[in-house]
Structure 1
Amino acid sequence: MDYNNYLPKKRLPYAVRIRNRIIVFAVFMGICALMGTCIFGEKQEQANPADEEEIVEETAENTTEQNTDEQASATVIREDGLFPKADSEDLVNTQTTVAAAVVPETPAEADVIDSTHIKAQKDVFLAEKIDNLLRRFRPEYAVILMVEPRSNEIIAWGERRNNHVQEKPDYFIKNTFPAASLAKTITISAAMESNRYSLTSQIPMIGSSTKLYKSQLRVKEGYKGPFIELQDAYARSANPPMAIVGMNVGADRLRSAAKKLGYNTNFPGALPPRSNYAPPDTGYGLAEVSSGFTDATTLTPLLAAAQVRAILMKKPLEIPWAANLDGYAPKSRIALDVGKFSDNTYYGLREAMIRTVTHGTARKNISTRHMARKNYEALNIGGKTGSLDGKDPYGRYEWFMGFAQSKEDPSKAVVLVIMQVHDLQGMRSQPATQVAGMLFNYWAHQNLPKKGK
């Protein structure tokens, strides 16, 4: 017996099925029109001008009435029967209907490629890959930044806004972007610096992880509900437990940790401008800031890259530089007096970011789904995701900041920051974590040693 006959048949995609139905319907109507011509195709008697004028007036009156009051308009039946005689114009209209079902009426405007800004970058191949992804996925707004950690030099970047890929990275230094859950990096840093928490500390997990109600912050005496480890609260971007941690360590420790990560700092030449972090001393506002559940905490992409590099290298904060991005990044390395974390805190931050990729919000897309298995297994990949609505520009902000480091040769590594803004009413492009996985994969192809060499 052939059991294959009993297996469920795979259906065509929904869009293909709808297109086929439209084509079949259009062809059917064309056949009906031709059949009507054969059956009722007597020559139409010419209508006198008075009759034509009366019909036109009645049709115009009925059209106006339909547009204003949405009432049924009168139907004018032609003298040659129910099916009018088909002529060349009918056939053209039928063909147009079929074509419109397959081809969009107004095709997307071609994006003219200017490779000048690509050739001027440190790593031309990475820059070209970024440019291709921006043109392929077409996010509403986006900036992508890649940095070499040892030298802290910007090696590739890309930006898209106003429906075009840009030649200048204006978003590097724009400080109106809400940091969203990237601000949880401050909270976990302050927690580990306080020596009151470790990565495996158990935090009460009350209610939904994506919400933040006051009732989720009240831990009753003798609480016996679910708990979550600190590293998992960070990796899964759980708001209530991170808010509880922030309220426990206090606003002063949070401000101190934020300072070491570059917030509230006036950098030389305003490159980048000041990123803001202002937690209140107590109350629900402190919980909001601790979990990143507010658009008052802002972050520039350039500072986000500096934070990841500092965590990866276990060094004080230093803003990424580029020799040929005057006005958008420093021209050379500049030492900053913002202090540094303990080695234990740097280690904990790195491990928490790696857990985001292995067990957290980036697990789905930064995987063998979008990376070659050999590259995925050869790298230690870490990061932090975040999303929140913002106003300048208006939309849904989506972040990824992270790193990829060779397990065999840790000196080979790259820092990556992606920030996308999606139209709340429109279609979203590919997730930032998917773009990150594809870029890490491409970087690994170019930089990791090939087997047998």
Structure 2
Amino acid sequence: MPRKHNPNLPRGYGHSQSYSRPSTQPIYARSSDRIDPRPLSRRILAWIPKLILAGVVLVAFSLYPESRLETSRDFGEVWGIQKHHLSNSISEEIIANEFPSIVTINSDQSNFDAIVHYNIKPDLNSFIDDTIARYGPDYAAVVVLQPHTGRILAMSSFVKDNSLNHNLAVHSGFPAASLFKIVTAAAAIDTGVARPGSIYQYNGKNSSLYKSNVLRHKTNKWTRNTSLSKAFALSINTVFGRIGVYDVGAETLQTYADVFGFNRPVPVDFSIESSKTGFHSGDEWSIAEAASGYTLDTTISPVHAAMLASVIANDGVLVEPSLIDFAVDTSGPLLYKSEPDSARVFDKKTSDELRVLMRATVKKGSAKKHFRTFFRGPYVNLDVGGKTGSLTGHNPKGKTEWFVGYGDSGKDKVAIAAVVVNKEKWYIKPARLARFVLEEYFKHEATQG
């Protein structure tokens, strides 16, 4: 359980400058042409304070480096502290599920201690920890982040038997399962080959995936029609397998996987293993397995999974997740302030249509029963969408179940990833856990409603 830290620090406030209108009076003479009527002795005395001030400024510039006087410069330039310095200092402890308040910074210039302030909201994080512990699954992790700022607001990890001294929120060995349908849907919509209302034919059960139904489809009396929105909401594997093979294709699917952050370092301010895809471009069945999420070769961490929902909730823009808010020297000066980069992954129209699919999941699809009464109470106006996924994995061993989604009140929004792994019987579904977290996060807005 993460240690609680007060995220608040008094901060300076910018002072707005007021500008007077230029004088409309004509200037008839240059200042050098004007005659000072004061006696010479008084004019000399008037210059003495100005000369003293000039001397002080010269001494200041000679005694202090320019970087100390140039307060508008980047903190990294001034103090030599960059994101990677902090990452190197905290990553091992974060992976071990420890959140150190004081770390030793090994910069290019010197080594010194710093006090780290995190973006974690202690009350929210404690609520999640307590909720998971109350139900007691074998393994679980939850990550909550703010899409428009990238702030990681909660990072919870739970191991029932304490067999792992590892932060599961950063563990990238979980099978991505049907979460990868988000990537497939984004590729199809963004390239214009599909819309939420596009109709597809398929045979077989929603949860099954057979070569004959994907690669050798035949229309018969058992063939069913479904829309992309419904196929996403119900997680129909055959439909997404066929979309991956015949509509999107291996090259485009890999491109969008890379754009979503697979097969590359996750852009956070601490070290985390990369999420992986493992399909082969020349193997149609491998493509179908990946596109539908019916493979153990595609893996993901909860932090990265929350990023997927974050991009969609933020109109197609990824703001790099940040665990650290700022760091100060033990004597007080500010050493580092998080300023995450952002990049557009796809346009707003694509994110709008992906949210249509995700809303269908919680209102009509695989997460419906967990949100059945959610929209009848104080959260009736909350926009919620998500994607479920499940697959038996080996790291950790057990049935892995996911819910990845977002909540948007119009005033604030969050992205959430919840994963639960159970060896034999289940204790709580991740969609239900995510609902509890959304209710807790937005409860103040709901009561003020």
User: CA separation in 2, counterparts of 1:325 and 1:135?
Assistant: 30
Q: What is the match of residue 186 of structure 2?
A: 189
Secondary structure (helix, strand or coil) at the match of 2:378 reads: helix
Q: What is the match of residue 143 of structure 1?
A: 141
Q: What is the match of residue 61 of structure 1?
A: none
1:387 to 382, 385, 390: 390
Secondary structure (helix, strand or coil) at the match of 1:293 reads: coil
User: CA separation in 1, counterparts of 2:326 and 2:287?
Assistant: 37
Q: Which runs of 5+ in 1 are unaligned?
A: 1-113
Q: 1:191 to 1:117 in 2, by over 3 A?
A: same
Q: 1:115 to 1:245 in 2, by over 3 A?
A: closer
Q: Is 1:352 paired with 2:239?
A: no
Q: 1:317 to 1:379 in 2, by over 3 A?
A: same
Q: Check whether the contact 1:154–1:321 (CA below 8 A) recurs between aligned residues.
A: yes
Tell me the CA shift for residue 219 of structure 1. 2.3
1:173-188 alignment runs, 5 A limit: 173-188=170-185
Question: Relative contact order, CA 8 A, sep 6+: which one is greater?
Answer: 2
1:365 to 355, 365, 370: 370
Tell me the CA shift for residue 359 of structure 1. 0.8
Structure whose alpha-carbon radius of gyration is higher: 1
Instruction: Provide Cα deviations, 1:174-196, integer angstroms capped at 9, x if missing partner.
Output: 11111000011111111112212
Q: Is 1:116 paired with 2:116?
A: no
2:378 to 375, 378, 381: 375
Instruction: Provide Cα deviations, 1:403-453, integer angstroms capped at 9, x if missing partner.
Output: 1111xxx23112111011111xx33111111111122122221334514xx
Q: What is the match of residue 103 of structure 1?
A: none
Instruction: Provide Cα deviations, 1:14-52, integer angstroms capped at 9, x if missing partner.
Output: xxxxxxxxxxxxxxxxxxxxxxxxxxxxxxxxxxxxxxx
Instruction: Provide Cα deviations, 1:152-179, integer angstroms capped at 9, x if missing partner.
Output: 211123211153599x972232111110
1:163-312 alignment runs, 5 A limit: 163=161, 170-217=167-214, 218-220=216-218, 225-248=223-246, 249-267=248-266, 271-281=271-281, 282-312=283-313
Q: 1:372 to 1:257 in 2, by over 3 A?
A: closer
- The residue type equivalent to 1:364 in the other structure is K
Q: What is the match of residue 334 of structure 1?
A: 340
Q: Check whether the contact 1:236–1:356 (CA below 8 A) recurs between aligned residues.
A: yes
- The residue type equivalent to 1:175 in the other structure is S
Instruction: Provide Cα deviations, 1:75-128, integer angstroms capped at 9, x if missing partner.
Output: xxxxxxxxxxxxxxxxxxxxxxxxxxxxxxxxxxxxxxx783487763232122
User: CA separation in 2, counterparts of 1:336 and 1:267?
Assistant: 13
| Structure with the largest fraction of helix | 1
Q: What is the match of residue 323 of structure 1?
A: 324
Q: Check whether the contact 2:155–2:169 (CA below 8 A) recurs between aligned residues.
A: no
Q: Check whether the contact 1:138–1:163 (CA below 8 A) recurs between aligned residues.
A: no
Q: Which runs of 5+ in 2 are unaligned?
A: 8-118, 328-335
- The residue type equivalent to 2:299 in the other structure is T
Q: 1:428 to 1:284 in 2, by over 3 A?
A: same
Instruction: Provide Cα deviations, 1:369-411, integer angstroms capped at 9, x if missing partner.
Output: xx473333121110010010111111110111101111xxx23
User: CA separation in 2, counterparts of 1:308 and 1:115?
Assistant: 23
User: CA separation in 1, counterparts of 2:384 and 2:163?
Assistant: 28
Q: Check whether the contact 2:199–2:227 (CA below 8 A) recurs between aligned residues.
A: yes
Q: 1:372 to 1:136 in 2, by over 3 A?
A: farther
- The residue type equivalent to 1:208 in the other structure is K
2:405 to 395, 402, 405: 402
Q: 1:165 to 1:365 in 2, by over 3 A?
A: farther
| Structure with the largest fraction of strand | 2
Q: Check whether the contact 2:279–2:297 (CA below 8 A) recurs between aligned residues.
A: no
- The residue type equivalent to 1:306 in the other structure is M
Instruction: Provide Cα deviations, 1:220-272, integer angstroms capped at 9, x if missing partner.
Output: 37998211101111111110011111111200110111122111112467733
Secondary structure (helix, strand or coil) at the match of 1:116 reads: coil
User: CA separation in 2, counterparts of 1:393 and 1:317?
Assistant: 29
Secondary structure (helix, strand or coil) at the match of 2:380 reads: helix
Q: Check whether the contact 1:203–1:229 (CA below 8 A) recurs between aligned residues.
A: yes
Q: What is the match of residue 415 of structure 1?
A: 415
1:52-63 alignment runs, 5 A limit: none
Q: What is the match of residue 80 of structure 1?
A: none
User: CA separation in 1, counterparts of 2:194 and 2:3?
Assistant: 50
2:153 to 152, 155, 163: 155
Q: What is the match of residue 43 of structure 2?
A: none
Please, what TM-score do these two structures have when normalized by structure 1? 0.66
- The residue type equivalent to 2:372 in the other structure is S
Secondary structure (helix, strand or coil) at the match of 1:378 reads: coil
Please, what TM-score do these two structures have when normalized by structure 2? 0.67
User: CA separation in 1, counterparts of 2:161 and 2:363?
Assistant: 34
